[in-house]
Amino acid sequence: MRRERSAAAYRRRMTRILLTGMSGAGKSTLLTELARRGHRTLDTDHDGWTLPDGRWDEPRIAGLLDREPHIVVSGAVENQGAFRDRFEHVVLLSAPLDVLLARVAARTGNDYGTDPADREEIRRYTREVEPLLRRSADVELDGRRATADLADELERLLG
């Protein structure tokens, strides 16, 4: 009985959040703010977490989630559903298509979205992929809100 209570208490302290959404929704900006506030974050768009075929490196993600009981992971990949049960919350950060396109056109440090083919892909993903992300999300936040307000919302989920 004591071991069961101890395991339950550990699970309550674990809070992993998957932050997902379309390119330009504000995921990276929100992660930067959460990291500034002292939270452990990971943007899977960088450092080899996402393979060339656009899927997460499953053994690597699994290892990370084994080691990190308290983290916000950002990504929007085909195989993220395989890890759904490893996250206490899935948060969809969304914004209207015109906002997404304006943001990717204006950002620096990432060329994705500047090419017409990329912009068409964003349009298609918004039609086809975002509804799937919405169905699997526990929470949807409007990416047009102030970054500080969005970070406050995620901090409430982190506990």
Residue with tokens 């992993």: 16
Pairing, β 70-74 against β 41-43: parallel
What is the reported pLDDT for 6? 47
pLDDT reported for residue 107: 85
158: confidence class by pLDDT, cuts 50, 70, 90: very high
What is the Cα–Cα distance from 141 to 115, expressed in whole angstroms? 27
Domains of the chain: 2-158 (3.40.50.300)
Model-wide pTM > 0.85: yes
The model's confidence at residue 9, banded by pLDDT at 50, 70 and 90, is very low
Give the torsion sign (CA, 100, 155, 60, 128).
negative
Tokens of 51: 């393979």
Distance CA 159, CA 106 (A): 34
- Grade residue 111 by pLDDT with cuts at 50, 70 and 90: confident
Residue listed under structure tokens 């989630």 = 65
